[in-house]
Structure 1
């Protein structure tokens, strides 16, 4: 009898073991949980002011391996970090593997009168982390050139030059219309990463004749060149002459985490026990290796890493009466609408501001100029910081078919389709 009981206990213990050494060692989970599973496990949903969304998590059973976080309670306020690192997390998005983190600074001290070359590099704090493609390397200083390249491949990513004029007012006027993606900048320049990188190197060179002191004098010209990785930067002339850039002018950098337990979607989908993408989601290959998940266009686009995270939206062809169909001079035809019960799905909801401006939300805010479902277009202009708009018009195309209507997007514009 004792032997039978012992054997039964051993079997139960084996059945309760995690499915891999990674899960056992770090407390991560490789199966796809539901929102209810995480709630039952008591997984924290916040750390201070930062909301936490799976696959990120704190504590055993609350995160996918590689996505562990820690909440520092010893500071005056709670702060969120990547586990076992000093990389702070400012913000996470639902269903996203990207996160906001403080700008990454590099200090370069240039010796006066010397044409020295400085080599520097950055590597991700843990495996799987990458600098997001929409992040830039910014350089603040006078008379310098910077060359950015892949750390492992030495393939060039970009270059820029920062020069200074002897007339401060002229510099300020030049910067008033300066596009920071430009190759040459006045007092600062930047290099747009354009790709996801887990490491990079850069070279800083002093330019001959690139430093022109105000009024022909050397006074106040700094020898320190400020280099930092950030999402964006609001240049101020004072940043050139101060010992460090004012953090109020720098916006958080964007980093991302890749699922690396399999090298590609093809291999990940063959191993169902550890596949990360939930129902109604698609797998996306990452060029550097690994993969991520994305909800399909006909879903609520909530969280592709949960079982129930990408729920299909119900198309509503039955409208309530009395729907408002004008916003100023802009006609609002179905499937678009302004009020609940007047649009086909949430993706077709428009907002009419108090100034009678029609706003369309699709990962960014757009001002709607005209809608014609029959002719197949929606003319919009992207807002800048929620005010004003640029001159580029994007077009929505309509494709006929069977089933519900959905909205997608690509680099050239928006697309309506029926599937």
Structure 2
């Protein structure tokens, strides 16, 4: 009862402070609700991006359309919970198809550029349909994904639930924060069975779509899910930013900042509340309807003055009557004559004391209930995120992961100042990384992952255990995790000096990369990859080696990071068959064609990084010619044309010996061989780079051949301590190592 009184007081304050959109605004179009900040008609929407027009289709039925992107709206939803799940708008989006060999095989998609909308990475898939159809998309930031559908003779009907590269259909994930992209269709042979098509589509809808006949049922539009937020220029004018003490615990807003896009904010109602978080008082408890009806009740006492005058007291009575309004009615109350002043003081004091005790008791009860609810919620998240399985692994003698630490959410909230936006180190498709300081003073990086697939919890926990066993000075160390929050929190060692990409491209001018530093960093990366491929307890393929995923510590030593797309394999496997995923410019062409990732695919990506260190060029550059935009192609062409020293970085030329530069360049060329079997292993790469480093320290090298042989033998003995693993079979294993930023 006490708690209900406090809730009523707070809710009344909330209702009085509330603000709503004009009742003249159209709330829906057809069967689609149009909630604020979206709106139909003047003054009913936040800005022009959220303007909805209610048109009639060919059958005369009303159809809502976003005016600026010109896309039909199917559904609008808000985020849910303290840890925000994205607000989305489901739209009809055009597909891309070619049915003849004539005409363009590319299509630009620019409708979302500079808008508050992006394509949802978690809810959409890229689909390619048709006989021997190789299709891909390239985003505006250079990310590149694609797949190839094999041709089954005479097979024309496709089922969305079996689109895995066979039966004329394939699918793959899309890049994060996708807002503009180019679609390409490149049939590897003439399609005599129908048309080739490629498109983004809502994954859940496509899985349930049923049979599709590619020769007669080419879809012009399919459902696509867009994530949306509010630009910072509009955020300060929202009703939710006004001062209302109770309203602040009903909703939650967070900032999302992506390179190349304006800052946006996304709001949602907290757990236990529902409604529209973009209106003050819009997030309400389920009992709120009663409160609003009570506040809109008609006061019968005001409508008829002296309503209770007809009620006379008994003869000789000094009592008087007055009218008291009640919900839906009224009552006449009797007022007795005043009692002596002492009694009034006593009554007032007792009432005040009773009210004080009531309020204190009510507040204490509220805190107890809230604390129990939080504990129950944390236990639920811990079990859902695989905490019991991880505890079992930690208690196992075989796991040998005593160094991994289970953090509680309160410690990590304190370490990151409640995940303050000023603590953000970086953001990516699978999470946000914050800088934090633990209670013992240690600086760490805390990664808040995106929503985890509950079907893969066992794999996730097993991979966390595997990663915790990696003990290499050139691999970013996983310290621990927290599983009692809605999404897992992962804690890594903090690496302070940014990425290798920033130094190679001259973004950090204070510390230029010398030739010795470049050679040492390349050797450290190669050693780390050799460890992952061959020396770790379970072989690991990184699958996303690039200069932005190489961090530099306080002594500018390399640290391989971002294992978000990494995979573990059994010791008797040679490759993984997976959906194609990677970064354009670093992606192994052989992997793209076959969907089979081997350890040589990591070697190719390392070869691009080695070329970056030698040339100071970017992996993809629009300043080079069309044929040479890829650094791998540009580098190999220059070597074949004997123009190597024309593209080498000037600092490398001034500080390095020409024979050493040529040795490293030839090694990079071998890593970039289009035939994976002809590329060296990471063990061979690490040995050769180590040899160049050690031979630099040997004086009078050309005059002392015996000393050269001694150094080479010493290196061979050093690297032969840890054997490589060789195996003959294939696998379709596709287990995520952990969630990346």
Range into which the TM-score falls when normalised by the shorter chain = 0.5 to 0.7
User: How far 1:71 moved relative to its partner?
Assistant: 1.1
Question: Does the 8 A contact of 2:238 with 2:279 survive in 1?
Answer: no
* C-alpha separation in 1, matches of 2:125 and 2:377: 41
- The worse-fitting range, judged by mean Cα deviation, of 47-56 and 85-94 is 85-94
1:225 to 192, 196, 219: 196
Distance 1:375 1:89, change over 3 A: closer
Question: Does the 8 A contact of 1:81 with 1:89 survive in 2?
Answer: yes
* C-alpha separation in 2, matches of 1:167 and 1:69: 45
Query: Which residue is 1:37 aligned to?
Result: 20
Secondary structure of the corresponding residue to residue 214 of structure 2: helix
2:55 to 45, 68, 72: 72
Query: Which residue is 1:93 aligned to?
Result: 77
Query: Which residue is 2:264 aligned to?
Result: 291
Cα deviation, 1:143-201, whole Å, max 9, x if unaligned, reads: 11112111x22222x110011123649x98xx7984x4x5x342111232242322111
* C-alpha separation in 2, matches of 1:275 and 1:155: 38
1:200 to 178, 181, 189: 181
Q: Determine whether 1:147 maps to 2:136.
A: yes
2:282 to 277, 299, 309: 309
* C-alpha separation in 2, matches of 1:241 and 1:81: 30
Question: Does the 8 A contact of 2:136 with 2:185 survive in 1?
Answer: yes
Question: Does the 8 A contact of 2:92 with 2:224 survive in 1?
Answer: yes
- Structure 2: which 5+ residue stretches go unaligned? 1-15, 80-85, 242-246, 288-368, 389-406, 411-448, 455-482, 487-741
Query: Which residue is 1:59 aligned to?
Result: 41
2:28 to 40, 46, 49: 46
Which has more helix, going by share of residues?
2
Distance 1:261 1:102, change over 3 A: same
* C-alpha separation in 1, matches of 2:223 and 2:118: 15
Question: Does the 8 A contact of 1:281 with 1:310 survive in 2?
Answer: no
Query: Which residue is 1:105 aligned to?
Result: 95
User: How far 1:238 moved relative to its partner?
Assistant: 5.0
Alignment coverage as a number of residue pairs? 281
Question: Does the 8 A contact of 2:98 with 2:197 survive in 1?
Answer: yes
Question: Does the 8 A contact of 1:41 with 1:61 survive in 2?
Answer: no
Question: Does the 8 A contact of 1:395 with 1:415 survive in 2?
Answer: no
Q: Determine whether 1:160 maps to 2:147.
A: yes
Q: Max radius of gyration: which structure?
A: 2
Question: Does the 8 A contact of 1:82 with 1:88 survive in 2?
Answer: yes
* C-alpha separation in 2, matches of 1:415 and 1:86: 42
Query: Which residue is 1:241 aligned to?
Result: 215
* C-alpha separation in 2, matches of 1:272 and 1:375: 33
* C-alpha separation in 2, matches of 1:201 and 1:293: 27
TM-score, scaled to structure 1? 0.54
Cα deviation, 1:53-77, whole Å, max 9, x if unaligned, reads: 1111112222111211111257611
* C-alpha separation in 1, matches of 2:377 and 2:238: 45
* C-alpha separation in 2, matches of 1:177 and 1:130: 25
Question: Does the 8 A contact of 1:90 with 1:102 survive in 2?
Answer: yes
User: How far 1:286 moved relative to its partner?
Assistant: 3.9
Cα deviation, 1:353-375, whole Å, max 9, x if unaligned, reads: xxxxxxxxxxxxxxxxxxx9699
Question: Does the 8 A contact of 1:103 with 1:251 survive in 2?
Answer: yes
Higher RCO (C-alpha 8 Å, min separation 6):
1
User: How far 1:41 moved relative to its partner?
Assistant: 4.2
TM-score, scaled to structure 2? 0.33
Question: Does the 8 A contact of 2:137 with 2:146 survive in 1?
Answer: yes
Secondary structure of the corresponding residue to residue 161 of structure 1: strand
Secondary structure of the corresponding residue to residue 102 of structure 1: strand
Aligned pairs for 1:248-267 within 5 A: 252-262=223-233
Cα deviation, 1:184-242, whole Å, max 9, x if unaligned, reads: 3421112322423221112221225x96xxxxxx5xx22x2122321132576652222
Distance 1:198 1:276, change over 3 A: farther
User: How far 1:84 moved relative to its partner?
Assistant: 5.0
Distance 1:297 1:273, change over 3 A: closer
- Structure 1: which 5+ residue stretches go unaligned? 1-32, 212-217, 263-267, 315-343, 349-371, 381-392, 402-407
2:110 to 117, 123, 142: 123
Question: Does the 8 A contact of 1:146 with 1:203 survive in 2?
Answer: yes
2:273 to 300, 313, 324: 300
* C-alpha separation in 1, matches of 2:94 and 2:278: 29
Cα deviation, 1:99-153, whole Å, max 9, x if unaligned, reads: 11114211223429xxx98222211267333222222222210111112111x22
Distance 1:108 1:255, change over 3 A: same
User: How far 1:310 moved relative to its partner?
Assistant: 3.3
Cα deviation, 1:348-404, whole Å, max 9, x if unaligned, reads: 9xxxxxxxxxxxxxxxxxxxxxxx969945798xxxxxxxxxxxx754789798xxx
Distance 1:94 1:241, change over 3 A: same
Secondary structure of the corresponding residue to residue 241 of structure 1: coil
Question: Does the 8 A contact of 1:379 with 1:395 survive in 2?
Answer: yes
* C-alpha separation in 1, matches of 2:236 and 2:283: 18
* C-alpha separation in 1, matches of 2:219 and 2:127: 13
* C-alpha separation in 2, matches of 1:94 and 1:274: 15
Query: Which residue is 1:22 aligned to?
Result: none
* C-alpha separation in 1, matches of 2:160 and 2:87: 35
* C-alpha separation in 2, matches of 1:255 and 1:284: 17
Query: Which residue is 2:120 aligned to?
Result: 132
Question: Does the 8 A contact of 2:185 with 2:198 survive in 1?
Answer: no
Question: Does the 8 A contact of 2:18 with 2:281 survive in 1?
Answer: yes
Which has more strand, going by share of residues?
1
* C-alpha separation in 1, matches of 2:274 and 2:378: 28
Secondary structure of the corresponding residue to residue 275 of structure 2: coil
